[in-house]
Structure 1
Amino acid sequence: MERFVDREIELSRLRESYASDSPEMIVIFGRRRLGKTQLVQHSLTQRDDAVVYQATQTTPQVQLDEFVDVASGPFPGIEHIKQNWESLLGYLVEQGGIVVLDEFPYLIDADKSIPSVIQRLWDQRLQNTSGTLILVGSSISMMEEATLLGNSPLYGRFTEKIDLRQLGFAAAQEFFPDSYKPEDRIFAWGIFGGVPYYLDGIDLEHDLGTVISDSLLSQRGYLHNEPEYVLRTELTEPNRYFAILKAIAAGNTTSNEIAQMVGIDGKQISTYTQKLERLRLIEREVPLTEEKARSRRGRYRILDPLFRFWFRFVYGNEDRYERLGDEAYEAVIEPELPDFVSSQFEVLCQDALPGLYPDQTFLDIGRWWYKEHEVDVVGFTTEGTMVVGECKFTNAPLDYSALASLEEHTEEIRWTPDSGGDIDKEYALFTRSGATQTVQEAVAKRGDLRLFGLDDITNSV
């Protein structure tokens, strides 16, 4: 069983719902491997009034029989109830029970009327009960269609919606060996992300090269086919989506660049990118000073580090790695790994900003760019301070040219504080390998310039 880590906010929300005197209907969704089933099971520890049914891909009658078999443990009387979903679910919730329908999309596949049945049950029978009904699913597209969109029978009826995402860096640390230094932790998180299933299934006691070779490069590896498996469960015609993700992983991040790389008309590319956004696979970033809906300078990035690694290094290269054998990691991956992890390092630095500047209250944190100008970390505060940062995840110390470049680019940022007045600027340098003597001297002399190493960053998220 996977280790259960963090999720304190989600656990609290679930347990508050269980304690309510009113009926509760909860939807929990998110892509596979994030620990939705584990979350529900953990929330029900020490409860004897819960029915947790994990649906299978089978016929409606078999699903009903399986459900009754599971429910008859805590609720023996259910065996005398009419064998249909409305009667069975109504009986359990009227008893004040907690009913969990895991893999809910499988129930819909077998019986399209299930959402309408639950709607009628909720509207007509459950309003004066204190029971809880929880619908859990990994197929984001089907869960949205069945529960969250305006034309769904269940739209607007949920008392709680939990959109489960990856663990953050701080929570992911619990999976890493105590021997890991900050650099090791950043590399591991920058490749495997915060998916519990990934982190719990790989042997991080080995050196990183061995872990990558065994789990990803080898065709027998634990995670070798993972992205393909996840995508094929969500997409009926995945080829174009695979091509788009590979293009983004290769550095083509604007709509035009992606369209040209993939060979799709630029006007059609949004159909595919919007689908990938809904599936939480990519996100469209815009400069921090612009509104997302109106900006025309959007860039796409792959959200899951493992998917980004797979599409950059693994997809389409399997035969090459088999030929190289044990030399594949050193020959192909290792030279490019710092550059690959650097984008995730920027995300980590953004996340660390509130902890590194505890006296500031940040309104927005992100990136900024315009034409040839770009700033890795930008934070706007309530007091009219703009914190800007440069990130260097290289073996070489950060030199003075990086500071000079940061100051130059910052001059192009246009931001007006809510309070009006002048902007106070703070400069932050985030570095893997320290800084040159001239940079250190500048930090010592200036009150608006700070230098942060990996210890500072990892201890502040």
Structure 2
Amino acid sequence: MAGFIGREAELRLLAKRLDRMAQTGAGVAVALRGRRQVGKSRLVQEFCDRAGVPYVFFTAIKGASPVESIASLLGELAESSLTATRRELLPSGVTGGWPDAFRALASVLPESPAIVVLDEMPWLAEQDALFEGALQTAWDRLWSTRPVFLILLGSDLHMMERLTAYDRPFYGRADNMVLGPLNPAETAQALGLDGSDGIDAHLLTGGLPGIIRSWPQGLSARDFLLRESDDPATSLFGVPESALLAEFPAPDQARRVVEAVGGDNRTHANIAAAAGGRQGSIASGSLSPLLRKLTEEKQVIAVDHPLATQAGKPALYRVADSNLRFYLAMGRAIQEQARRGRPNAGMRILTRRWSSWRGRAVEPLVREALERAAVAGELPWPEIGVVGGWWNRNNNPEVDLVAADKGPIADQIYFAGSVKWLNHAFDGRDLDTLRRSAEHIPGFERERCGLVVVSQSGVTFDPGEVDLVWGPDEVLRAWAPG
């Protein structure tokens, strides 16, 4: 898979700001954040290539000193289209730190629209405590009154959020944009897949362009896994491995918690025991703030609460990115076998774990698909505000799908449902189990609440016995452009 993939909506949003800047003559700033390998730099490069205006694209280097970073910026500036016909305007011997560097940049800006891109912003702020203040001063005094489109990129989600917070120098000066992975429909379209193959591809790649580009057109998920299982350096393993090392360079407690959750330890107690290892369980006073940091700041972990009209327990945790989830659950073990020259052993690991992992991994995707369909008015329950699941302390019963007006404590339940992502159909026995389990959900009343089935392989009973039956095509369609 080669070339630029999708992102038409994001390109339109950037183009809209460029057009506004051209009309008003005033500067526009955007802070664009997203996880590593999600394609931020590639998106902005594509935008610059399409924009047809001069630009400079500077990428910081982690660990470089401010002097080295400034020299690198000036070097990029000298080679950029901003100075293609006016290189003589660029000052030499800039030694006064970031304020002088930003003044040098201002000196070569044309009176017509131009783009300035600063990539890996968190690394620049990490190198120099005065960087953010210097950027704010340069924007206010030198750039904002000119047709400059300033794009700030970063993978440290928390730091990028903080960049424009009320107590930071750049507050109120930049629009915030978040770049997520490609959605399932975009992933399927990019790879020439449909149905369950498209969904499997999304679960494996997490919608990350860096992996999708290595996936041959039309190749099924199973065949792709067979092809990659003997290559320890494949992007399927290398991308999540790099992301893990970038977020957690040392094997500290936070990383052990992520790995415990990736190993299907979903409850607070099980995570504490698995992450504690030989030292015993992590104390609740230590684990709770760690989980909050991993969910709210780093956004590596997602937390699900039982959805019903009464508060329920326990909360269940999962790795937010499905590619990293795959890597921690089995990809790393397959990679290790490949490093040892034992791809057949890796495939045995895949065969043992794939069905159960995929069945669990697809549930958040199905829930979001149903939410999107409800918002679009494509379900019989237009009042739906959230789709989740329900379980009790013993996970018996556990209901895959619950739709309500709000969560995690709802006023109104609209339906309960089940997801079966296997190569055999959802049958009458599965339907009986769903009916019995739904009765345990606080707020579920069969007389006014619906039943929903989402099955990879269809159903064997009369679909009229439930209120909605979805298959892989319907799940993918929920992400198709309106």
Would you call these one fold, judging by a TM-score over 0.5?
Answer: yes
Displacement of 1:109: 4.5
Q: Are 2:269 and 1:265 aligned? A: no
More off after superposition, 362-371 vs 318-327: 318-327
Letter in 2 for 1:276: L
Match of 1:211 among 183, 204, 224: 224
Partner in structure 2 of residue 286 of structure 1: 305
Partner in structure 2 of residue 380 of structure 1: 404
For 1:423 and 1:43, the matched residues in 2 are separated by 53
More off after superposition, 23-32 vs 273-282: 273-282
Partner in structure 1 of residue 168 of structure 2: 152
Q: Are 2:373 and 1:331 aligned? A: no
> Does the CA-based 8 Å contact 1:216-1:223 persist in structure 2?
no
Local SS of the residue matching 1:99 = strand
For 1:422 and 1:210, the matched residues in 2 are separated by 43
Partner in structure 1 of residue 279 of structure 2: none
Displacement of 1:130: 3.4
Identity value in percent: 23
Structure 2: segments with no counterpart, 5+ residues? 95-99, 277-281
Deviations 1:191-222 (A, max 9, x none): 22211111112336555445225435532333
Displacement of 1:341: 1.0
> Does the CA-based 8 Å contact 2:229-2:346 persist in structure 1?
no
Go from structure 1 to structure 2 and tell me whether the alpha carbon gap of 1:423 and 1:123 turns closer, same or farther (over 3 Å shift): farther
For 1:365 and 1:310, the matched residues in 2 are separated by 26
Go from structure 1 to structure 2 and tell me whether the alpha carbon gap of 1:453 and 1:229 turns closer, same or farther (over 3 Å shift): closer
Go from structure 1 to structure 2 and tell me whether the alpha carbon gap of 1:290 and 1:48 turns closer, same or farther (over 3 Å shift): farther
Deviations 1:99-155 (A, max 9, x none): 11122234334444221111112333444333221111223344345x144543223
Q: Are 2:420 and 1:392 aligned? A: yes
Partner in structure 1 of residue 71 of structure 2: 62
Count of residues in correspondence between the two structures: 445
Q: TM (normalized to structure 1)?
A: 0.85
Partner in structure 2 of residue 8 of structure 1: 8
Q: Are 2:450 and 1:432 aligned? A: no
Match of 2:177 among 149, 162, 181: 162
Displacement of 1:267: 1.6
Letter in 2 for 1:433: S
Q: Are 2:386 and 1:364 aligned? A: yes
Go from structure 1 to structure 2 and tell me whether the alpha carbon gap of 1:31 and 1:92 turns closer, same or farther (over 3 Å shift): farther
Displacement of 1:327: 1.8
Matched ranges for 1:238-257 at <5 A = 238-257=251-270
Match of 2:201 among 179, 183, 188: 188
Displacement of 1:261: 1.2
For 2:314 and 2:6, the matched residues in 1 are separated by 36
Q: Are 2:47 and 1:23 aligned? A: no
Partner in structure 2 of residue 451 of structure 1: 469
Match of 1:48 among 53, 56, 60: 53
Displacement of 1:400: 2.3
Structure 1: segments with no counterpart, 5+ residues? none
Q: TM (normalized to structure 2)?
A: 0.81
Q: Over aligned residue pairs, what C-alpha RMSD do you find? A: 3.2
Deviations 1:394-422 (A, max 9, x none): 23322223222222332333459xxxx99
> Does the CA-based 8 Å contact 1:376-1:391 persist in structure 2?
yes
Go from structure 1 to structure 2 and tell me whether the alpha carbon gap of 1:213 and 1:243 turns closer, same or farther (over 3 Å shift): farther
> Does the CA-based 8 Å contact 1:51-1:74 persist in structure 2?
no
